[in-house]
Amino acid sequence: MNRLRTISVIGLGYIGLPTAVVLASRGASVVGVDTNEHVVTKINRGEVHIVEPDLDAVTARVVQNGLLRATTCVGEADAFVVAVPTPFHDGKADMAYVNSAVVSIAPVLKAGDLVVLESTSPPGTTEAMVEQFTALRPDLKFPRQQDGTCDVHVAYCPERVLPGRVLVELVENDRIIGGITPECAARAEELYRIFCTGSLLRTDVRTAEMCKLTENSFRDVGIAFANELSVICEKLGINVWELIRLANHHPRVNILQPGPGVGGHCIAVDPWFIVAAAPEHARLIRVAREVNDAKPAHVLTNVKAAIAGAKAAGARPTVGLLGLAFKPDVDDFRESPALQIAEAIADWNNCEVVVSEPHAEKLPGKLGCFKHVRMSEDIHALIREAQIVVMLVNHRQYNEISRTDLQDKAIIDTRGVWS
């Protein structure tokens, strides 16, 4: 702590802001940097631009205490934590934000500083950062695996926090710390020791980079297994939820839950980093992604059949959709399969659509553009009105729906709530 008087956190998003706030709450002097002036102004007022339990209160406190301030320009610091986005498009990771963070940090670096990358990145990224720094600052010595001595230490330390539990998991989770050299990992450990109570596990940078991708790919493969089972069981007339519950009684079996598809900005994306790094070998990982990506279309086939059945019986049916977020009890709609399914149903324009989403004030995405789509805050009214009910996200508010409420309805239960 003594060597790290000022810490600069570059990128004040879902990970950077909570990290900056937690560091400041432990007494570190933190400067948060973001290119978005609106975000910077908001944080300097002690407010937050993302929804995460308790983040608003802790931010207000550390800003008021003068321990956190935000700016658009990178200044001198003892440690730099880079937590910028690394989006994936057209088959490769877009490293533009990481590259521009390096360009903005390089001029202010001095001997004794520490730079840690946290953004999800392809293996080799931290070493490429070191090359970039070396070219931009030939006056400083940067670390090399084969040469332990350096002026500036560089490490990779992936975040692994679950949205909705970020402030708890930032502190309690174990962390992987990959150093370009063992000394770099030891320096980075000093930084994380400020706020982490979990184990700090040192390794090399490539292993640390791959570790993050491996964790999310492992979960994606597990969910793909469950999703594939659900499609097989539907064909064979077997209740997949009961099947999984029973199979999980085996002491070494732990099957995950099927759903309408995999959403969010991590599990649905990170496996592609591995596929891009080793396309000819990442066969299982690629197929798992394809299985999970195909699940919304499967759900839509079932909805289409239910609408056709209801139409044969009479007028234009009403379809009630429960939930749009990417997973239960969050207000995040990024890469949400539920939203993708809702938008596709709206596009057909062959039914009235009533949507429930307790975590949205208005219809998200392009749903707001359709006259035959509306929102309902009253779950029971929605169920009464709908001939077809589609359970997309098992938010806790839906626990109050009983089986008797659903009598005479066509039900498509993608989460196994009523199965």
Interface with ligand SAJ (CB under 6 A) = 159-163, 215-216, 219, 223, 256-257, 259, 262-264, 266-267, 326-327
- Which CB sits closer to ligand SAJ, 25 or 414? 414
- Which CB sits closer to ligand SAJ, 183 or 215? 215
- Closest approach, Cβ 219 to ligand SAJ, in A, equals 4
Q: What is the distance between the alpha carbons of residues 412 and 415, in angstroms, rounded to a whole number?
A: 9
Q: What one-character-per-residue DSSP string does 78-125 give?
A: SEEEE-----EETTEE--HHHHHHHHHHGGG--TT-EEEE-S---TTH
Catalytic residue among 150, 212, 295, 351: 212
- Closest approach, Cβ 102 to ligand SAJ, in A, equals 22
Q: What is the distance between the alpha carbons of residues 92 and 275, in angstroms, rounded to a whole number?
A: 9
- Which CB sits closer to ligand SAJ, 150 or 360? 360
- Which CB sits closer to ligand SAJ, 266 or 310? 266
Report strand pairing: 114-117 vs 79-82.
Answer: parallel
Q: What is the distance between the alpha carbons of residues 177 and 126, in angstroms, rounded to a whole number?
A: 12
Is 304 a known active-site residue?
no
Cα atoms in the Cβ-side hemisphere of radius 13 Å centred on 130: 23
- Closest approach, Cβ 156 to ligand SAJ, in A, equals 14
- Which CB sits closer to ligand SAJ, 137 or 415? 415
- Closest approach, Cβ 230 to ligand SAJ, in A, equals 10
The sign of the CA dihedral 335, 262, 21, 31 is negative
- Which CB sits closer to ligand SAJ, 163 or 320? 163
What are the backbone angles phi and psi of residue 353, rounded to the nearest 5°? -120, 125
Strands of the sheet containing 6-10, edge to edge, are 68-71, 29-33, 6-10, 79-82, 114-117, 153-156, 175-179, 200-204
- Closest approach, Cβ 355 to ligand SAJ, in A, equals 18
- Closest approach, Cβ 147 to ligand SAJ, in A, equals 33
Q: Of 30, 56, 28, 54, whose CA–CA distance to 42 is shortest?
A: 56
- The two three-digit tokens of residue 57, written as one number: 């209160």
- Which CB sits closer to ligand SAJ, 70 or 161? 161
Q: What one-character-per-residue DSSP string does 182-250 give?
A: HHHHHHHHHHHHTT--S-EEEEEHHHHHHHHHHHHHHHHHHHHHHHHHHHHHHHHT--HHHHHHHHTTS
Is 266 a known active-site residue?
yes
As beta bridge partners, residue 154 has: 115
**Residues 10 and 84 sit within 8 Å (Cβ to Cβ):** yes
- Closest approach, Cβ 255 to ligand SAJ, in A, equals 9
What are the backbone angles phi and psi of residue 165, rounded to the nearest 5°? -130, 25
**Residues 174 and 200 sit within 8 Å (Cβ to Cβ):** yes
Report strand pairing: 92-93 vs 88-89.
Answer: antiparallel
- Closest approach, Cβ 271 to ligand SAJ, in A, equals 11
Q: What is the largest CA-CA distance in the chain?
A: 79
Catalytic residue among 266, 295, 327, 351: 266
Which amino acid does the sequence have at 88? Answer: F
Q: What is the distance between the alpha carbons of residues 385 and 376, in angstroms, rounded to a whole number?
A: 11
- Which CB sits closer to ligand SAJ, 4 or 339? 339
Using the structure block, give the residue that is written with the tokens 């150093």: 179
Which residues are tagged catalytic? 212, 266
